[in-house]
Amino acid sequence: MAVESVLLLTVDALRADHCGFAGSDRGTTPFLDSLAAEALVFESAFAVGPGTPSSFAALFSSRYPLEFGGYEGFSAARPSLPEHLHRRGVTTAGVHSNPYLSRHYGYDRGFDHFEDSFEEADEPGLLDRVKTEAGALLSRNETAYRLGRRLFLAVFDEEKPYVDATETTDRVLDRLSDAPDRSFCWAHYLDVHEPYLPPGEHLDRELSPGRVEALNDRVQADDPDLGEGDLADLEALYDGELRYVDAELRRLFEELEARGRLEDTAVVITADHGEEFLDHGRLGHHPRLYDELLHVPFLVWLPPGARDELDAPASGRVSGQVSLLDLAPTVTDLLGIDPAPRFGGRSVLRESGHPVVSEVSNPHGVLKVDERFRRRSVRSEGWKLVVGPDGEELYDLEADPDELEDLREARPDRAAELRTTLAEERGVDPDAV
């Protein structure tokens, strides 16, 4: 039986090392761990950008974030995975509640059905328009961002400024209830993103509402002075959100399986970026290129009836590096459709182990591309080079996987080699990396 449909599930701000199948002992992902046992698991998968705008611009277009004028929106000039599939007769649907991925930014292009929770009607109401415009405004001015974010969160929802995992799952199930056999559905779960407000049953410790609020305030303040106990509690909140999403993904799979919807559906699961917990002195996800922000989970699950039909391995672990630039051509490969000519990635079913480039070029809290803030990184053969406005950083990832010892001064030869690799992979002049 061939794959007729693909379900793409993305989780916002999910760093790989908090998942059990990636080595964590936190007990956060029992369902995903069981799924990973019969899926292709890409152990070295990396986002192309450290935040939603930079990452998703690349994920859906298979082109780098700073191409096509950048990632302030999903440019009409970019190739589009949903649009490519739509033109080839695949019914497309998207379900999410991240304002950066709304119609306002052009992410509805190519979707037959697009549910972004901001403009759900053909003619959005006043509140919908205010919510969308407020999110856009807060993303473009750092002062407005810092002063207005808490008001934005308080006004538009008493707890979470997005649709939670339970409702997201319900919406996906509703959308797939009458989906045609040939379909592509993308759902984005936002719960793991701050503010971390997990249901109590998914926490591994007792934390009062005041404590939870105070910890989330520390994230908003990007407080570098968290004590060991504070940091442990903060990560417990993050892990609780992940347990909640994992439980909802289990419910989604069980219901789809009961309906017979998984018999010819491949499922791809990944994240747009990770999250920092003072790994390099910050909280959340800032425009930097360390692995806590770039290393993401990446699973491809094939229905049992299709595994023998695939002329590539259908399960197991893949250690070779892959990029989220490779996601779009992987989806087309699963559906037996040629990739769009302008896709820049490779199907992970066919190729892995290549250098991975990531990039970003905006100040924190401002969705405005500014070349003064441009950073690029390349990972290749166990080394990583980061090139930014403050110079270069070089890390030996085998000896220093946490990227704590900068070897740029000690190994200028290796830095020069990686700069050439970066220029070649990115298609730019070595002097302009």
- High-pLDDT (> 70) share of the chain, %: 90
Distance CA(105)–CA(118), nearest Å, equals 12
Helix (H, G, I), strand (E, B) or coil at 137: helix
Enumerate the β-bridge partners of residue 392. Answer: 387
The pLDDT value recorded for residue 348 is 97
Distance CA(286)–CA(361), nearest Å, equals 11
Q: What is the pLDDT of residues 144-154, one digit of tens each?
A: 444 444 554 45
Helix (H, G, I), strand (E, B) or coil at 235: helix
Nearest to 182 by CA among 1, 329, 3: 3
140 contact partners, CB below 8 Å, separation of at least 6: 366, 367, 368
The pLDDT value recorded for residue 219 is 94
Q: What is the pLDDT of residues 328-337, one digit of tens each?
A: 999 999 999 9
Is the pTM of the predicted complex or chain greater than 0.85? yes
φ, ψ dihedrals at 83, nearest 5°: -65, -40
The pLDDT value recorded for residue 2 is 86
Dihedral-angle region of residue 68 (phi above 0 means left; psi in -120 to 50 means alpha; beta otherwise) = left
pLDDT (mean) for 403-416: 98
Distance CA(358)–CA(341), nearest Å, equals 21
5-11 and 45-46 strand pairing: unpaired
40 contact partners, CB below 8 Å, separation of at least 6: 299, 300, 301, 302, 313, 314, 315, 316, 317, 318, 348, 349
pLDDT (mean) for 294-307: 95
Which has more pLDDT, 248 or 315?
248
Which alpha helices (H) appear in 92-183, and where do they start and end? Answer: 126-138, 142-156, 165-176
Q: What is the pLDDT of residues 160-187, one digit of tens each?
A: 678 999 999 999 999 999 899 899 999 9
The pLDDT value recorded for residue 139 is 45
The pLDDT value recorded for residue 145 is 44
Which has more pLDDT, 309 or 103?
103
pLDDT (mean) for 36-54: 97
Which has more pLDDT, 31 or 433?
31
Rounded to 5 degrees, what angle do the CA atoms 162, 114, 134 make?
A: 45
Helix (H, G, I), strand (E, B) or coil at 326: helix
State the burial class of residue 147 (Cβ atoms within 10 Å of its Cβ: 0-12, 13-18, 19+).
Answer: exposed
The pLDDT value recorded for residue 158 is 44
174 contact partners, CB below 8 Å, separation of at least 6: none
- Residue 364's pLDDT band, with cuts at 50, 70 and 90, is confident
The pLDDT value recorded for residue 432 is 83
At 60, list the tokens.
């859906």
The pLDDT value recorded for residue 125 is 44
The pLDDT value recorded for residue 379 is 98
The pLDDT value recorded for residue 151 is 52
Rounded to 5 degrees, what angle do the CA atoms 163, 168, 170 make?
A: 130
Dihedral-angle region of residue 336 (phi above 0 means left; psi in -120 to 50 means alpha; beta otherwise) = left
The pLDDT value recorded for residue 134 is 53
Structural domains of the chain, ranges and CATH numbers in brackets: 5-354 (3.40.720.10), 374-433 (3.30.1120.10)
Distance CA(289)–CA(428), nearest Å, equals 19
113-115 and 375-380 strand pairing: unpaired
- Residue 430's pLDDT band, with cuts at 50, 70 and 90, is confident
Task: Give the amino acid at 153.
Answer: L
The pLDDT value recorded for residue 27 is 97
- Is the pLDDT score of 423 beyond 90? yes
User: Is-contact 265 16, C-beta < 8 A?
Assistant: no
> 290-311 burial, b if ≥16 CB within 10 A, otherwise e?
bbbbbbbbbbbbbbeebeeebe
Q: What is the pLDDT of residues 392-409, one digit of tens each?
A: 999 999 999 999 999 999
- Is the pLDDT score of 71 beyond 90? yes
Q: What is the pLDDT of residues 115-146, one digit of tens each?
A: 997 654 444 444 444 455 455 444 444 444 44
pLDDT (mean) for 27-52: 98
The pLDDT value recorded for residue 141 is 46
Cα–Cα distances (Å) from 106 to 73, 201, 230, in that order, read 6, 37, 39
Distance CA(320)–CA(348), nearest Å, equals 10
Tokens 């992987």: give the residue. 330
248 contact partners, CB below 8 Å, separation of at least 6: 165, 166, 168, 169, 189
